[in-house]
Amino acid sequence: MFGEKKAARPAASGNGSTIEGLVGERMQITGDIRFAGIFVIEGRVKGSVLSEEGSDGVLKLYERGHLEGQAVAPSVEVDGEMHGDVTAERLKLGPTARVRGNIYYRVLEMAAGAQVNGQMIHQDEPRLQLPKPDPST
* Partners of 10 in the β-ladder: none
- Per residue in 27-36, pLDDT tens? 999 999 999 9
The model's pTM is 0.80
Higher pLDDT, 89 or 2: 89
CA distance 50 to 25: 20
- Identify the burial level of 82 via C-beta atoms within 10 angstroms of its C-beta, where 0-12 means exposed, 13-18 middle and 19 or more buried: buried
The model's confidence at residue 129, banded by pLDDT at 50, 70 and 90, is: low
Which pLDDT score, from 0 to 100, does residue 2 have?
A: 43
Q: How would you classify the pairing of strands 103-110 and 66-68?
A: unpaired
Which pLDDT score, from 0 to 100, does residue 53 have?
A: 85
Q: Write the secondary structure of 99-133 as one string of H (helix), E (strand) and C (coil).
A: EECCEEEEEEEECCCCEEECCEEECCCCCCCCCCC
Instruction: Give every CB contact of residue 22 below 8 A, 6+ residues apart in sequence.
Output: 39, 40, 42
- In percent, the amount of the chain with pLDDT more than 90 equals 69
- Per residue in 35-51, pLDDT tens? 999 999 999 999 999 99
Which pLDDT score, from 0 to 100, does residue 54 have?
A: 81
- Per residue in 102-127, pLDDT tens? 999 999 999 999 999 999 999 987 56
Mean predicted lDDT score pLDDT of the chain: 85
CA distance 131 to 87: 12
CA dihedral for 64, 100, 40, 7, sign (positive or negative): positive
